[in-house]
Structure 1
Amino acid sequence: MTATAQESQSLVLIVDDEPFIRMILRHFLEREGYKIAEAQNGREALTAFNQLHPDIILLDAIMPDMDGFECCTHLELLDCSKHTPVLMITGLEDQESVDRAFAVGAMDYITKPIHWPVLRQRVKRLIEQSQLQQKLEAVNLELQRLATIDGLTQIANRRRFEEYLNQEWQRLKRDKRPLSLILCDVDFFKLYNDTYGHRVGDRCLQEIAKAIKDIIKRPGDLVARYGGEEFAVILPNTDTEGATHVAKKICHTVRKLAIPHENSEVSPYVTISAGFTTEIPQSDSDLEEMIAAADRALYQAKAAGRDRFVQDILLPKSKNEW
């Protein structure tokens, strides 16, 4: 038994209508250290695949009921089969059959009578390639995630905020549904950093980010670090009443964290100001104006004494502005 097969204990699904062929393939591959499952036609193979999710399929081309070509075509339609290589084993070796095997999704092809050292290497190589591809995809997904996450607070970063806001703006423009945007700013945060130091300031931002994220529970909503001590919340399919509820809850929740701020001018604890706006995107409306409206509302909340939320009303354009 090879060390690689021992370590991975990969599962091989053998699909052939001849019991003798299945038996000799089983004995050979078991000696190589693989686990084995069997099916005698394409229909049984599909059932076995859905139940067992093998690491590779050795598939005979010519079988009754459902042959290997049709079986391979059905496997290609299954999302969970994209990492499972198919090695076609058959007595056919004409150009048309070989081309057809690759056309329906087979990764490799070997003819009968089987050359056992060749089979051993091809099974090993196909499994290794599949495992490597899965690892690379997992790494790429993690890199994509890291590219959209703020390193300090572990919520979405500014880049992800802009991408998602534009995506939802376009979608809701088509659906004619409301979109709400909340911008938040931690009150007197420069004074907080000056008083307690930047390391404590970082912990404060982390606590606030977590508190806001815990409030925003719908899968389609997004909490992002907008910049510095600013946070943004995107609320698709949310009207003014819903956005008011969320903005109020954010201010209340941050207040209830009771993070000491002895030099705040509004409270002995850290507080947050929020501004929001709600719009049903139109063909003649402007996403940047929506962001500016939320920012105006945030400025109004600060000017009114901080530790509060304010809504900015986006007025319809007059005919002179069209």
Structure 2
Amino acid sequence: MNTTISENQSLVLIVDDEPFIRAQLRLSLQREGYRTVEAENGREALTLFQQLQPDIVLLDAIMPDLDGFDCCTQLQSLENGPSTPVLMITGLEDQESVDRAFEVGAVDYVTKPIHWPVLRQRVKRLIQQSHLQQKLEAANKELQRLVTIDDLTQVANRRRFEEYCAQEWQRMARNQLPLSLILCDVDFFKAYNDTYGHRAGDRCLQLVAKAIQQTVNRPGDVVARYGGEEFAVILPTTYADGAIHIAARICEAVRQLTIPHHTSQANTCVTVSAGVATEIPVPSSDFQEIIDAADRALYQAKTKGRDRYQQYVKQLSSPVYILNSQHRVV
């Protein structure tokens, strides 16, 4: 292995079992300002690719043990493999070999003996195209993030909530697993705004959103601003007892913020009410069912005094669990 390192230059991985060809490629590319790293076989190339994440791979088609075609196939399964251009270098010009090179993931090829001006231009073009594609993908990802994030609170917005809730509802229906939903509402928020002003109200919502987000730890759980002073927490593969536990923690986390709210009729600080619903979805059913259930539970929590959570139950005779402002479960 031979490496030449300099800052802010594209890295080219040269893979060829012939030392003379590798040396020619290295010198030609270094004259153009590229960094280079060399592998003498396909297996070494795979290791170096994972370690160094090159900008392009120049890959000899015919090598012992693991040839260029099989190496290219395996490169596609590695991190960043599909987005890294592979330029196949081959002494084979038959249609079958050319077709196979593209089938295994190469984006272009040159034949031996190498025409050096052609090689340099293709390397330059492929690297430019790859970098442009990476910039476009990053921009699209950021745009997608922006259209699904609530500007004020930086949690998911209503659009993202509905998309994700529908997605997880259908996934839970296919697998017959539970989906839980918590709807939270900041208690007496209009009175808070009237007393402290809208700027303080915005700051309050930001702090509440952060407290809820920090309470929900699993990657698959999503916290969203449902609207106004309402937040929603989607909990896939979560049974009722787990959702109740999280709802209790959310109520406590917001209470522990100790944001003064002297016009609240529930507490002297900002609190939330929460409605909890859990369903194992029926195939072809509508996710609106669990939203309606959580909303009804939230309404019950409010009518019972706020600063508490309430589990939705389908039968009025079923037990209801409530956390009141004295921190008791009754």
TM-score normalised by L of structure 1? 0.89
**Quick one: distance in 2 between partners of 1:242 and 1:91?**
63
Structure 1 residue 61 corresponds to structure 2 residue 61: yes
- Return the alpha-carbon distance in structure 2 between the equivalents of residues 23 and 286 of structure 1: 64
1:38 partner amino acid: E
Is residue 279–residue 314 contact of structure 1 (8 Å, CA) maintained in 2?
Answer: no
* Amino acid aligned to 1:14: I
Distance 1:246 1:72, change over 3 A: closer
CA offset at residue 309 of structure 1? 1.7
Who is 2:323 aligned against? none
Q: CA deviation at 1:124?
A: 1.2
Deviations 1:109-129 (A, max 9, x none): 222232222221111111111
- Matched with 1:278 is 278
Which residue of structure 2 aligns with residue 189 of structure 1? 189
Q: Could you tell me which residue of structure 1 aligns to residue 139 of structure 2? A: 139
Q: What are the ranges of 5 or more consecutive residues in structure 1 without an aligned counterpart?
A: 317-322
RMSD (Å), alpha carbons? 2.2
Q: CA deviation at 1:289?
A: 2.6
Alpha carbons of 1:40 and 1:172: their partners in 2 closer, same or farther (altered >3 Å)?
Answer: same
Aligned letter for 2:300?
Answer: Q
Letter in 2 for 1:238: T
Contact residue 169 and residue 179 of structure 1 kept, 8 A: yes
Report if aligned partners of 2:6, 2:35 keep a CA contact under 8 Å in 1. Answer: no
Q: Distance in 2 between matches of 1:34 and 1:203?
A: 50
More helix by share: 1
SS at match of 1:46: helix
* Alpha-carbon distance in 1 for matches of 2:179, 2:304: 25
Does the 8 A contact of 1:277 with 1:314 survive in 2?
A: no
C-alpha separation in 2, matches of 1:17 and 1:66: 11
Cα distance in 1 between the residues matched to 2:15 and 2:222: 47
Distance 2:93 2:284 in 1: 63
Query: SS at the partner of 1:81?
Result: coil
Classify the secondary structure of the residue corresponding to 1:224. Answer: strand
Q: Distance in 2 between matches of 1:201 and 1:215?
A: 21
Q: In structure 2, do the counterparts of structure 1 residues 135 and 284 end up closer, same or farther at CA, with 3 Å as the change threshold? A: closer
The runs of 5 or more residues in structure 2 that have no matched partner are: 317-330
User: 1:265 and 1:77, CA in 2 relative to 1: closer, same or farther beyond 3 A?
Assistant: closer
Q: Distance in 1 between matches of 2:121 and 2:17?
A: 24
Corresponding letter in the other structure for 1:246: I
How many angstroms apart in 2 are the aligned matches of 1:131 and 1:178?
Answer: 43
Give secondary structure in 2 for the equivalent of 1:8: coil
Over 3 Å counting, the alpha-carbon distance change for 1:63 and 1:277 in structure 2 is closer
Cα drift, residue 208 of structure 1: 0.5
Q: Which moved more, 1:227-236 or 1:261-270?
A: 261-270
Q: What SS class does the counterpart of residue 80 from structure 2 fall into? A: helix
Preserved CA contact (<8 Å) 1:6 1:33: no
Distance 2:94 2:247 in 1: 69
Please report how far the alpha carbon of residue 285 of structure 1 lies from its aligned counterpart in structure 2 after TM superposition: 5.6
Fraction of identical pairs, as percent: 71
Q: Which amino acid counterpart does residue 183 of structure 1 have in structure 2?
A: L
Worse-superposed segment, 101-110 or 220-229: 101-110
**Aligned positions of 1:1-322 closer than 5 A:** 8-283=8-283, 286-315=286-315
Distance 1:99 1:173 in 2: 43
TM-score (ref. length: structure 2): 0.87
Deviations 1:265-292 (A, max 9, x none): 2322212111112222234865323211
Does the 8 Å CA contact 1:211/1:253 hold for their aligned counterparts?
A: yes
Alignment-derived partner of residue 328 in structure 2 = none
Question: 62-71 vs 185-194, which deviates more?
Answer: 62-71
Quick one: distance in 2 between partners of 1:215 and 1:251? Answer: 10
2:305 maps to amino acid: G
Distance 1:207 1:71, change over 3 A: same
- Segments of 4+ moved more than 6 angstroms: none
Decide whether the 8 Å contact of 2:297 with 2:311 is kept in 1: yes
Q: Is the contact between residue 84 and residue 130 of structure 1 (CA under 8 Å) also seen in structure 2? A: yes
| 1: CA distance, partners of 2:101 / 2:285 | 53
Name the stretch that deviates more: 281-290 or 54-63: 281-290
Distance 1:107 1:192, change over 3 A: same
Change (3 A) 1:88 1:198: same
1:105–1:283 CA distance, 2 compared to 1 (3 A) = closer
Deviation of 1:158 (Å) = 1.0
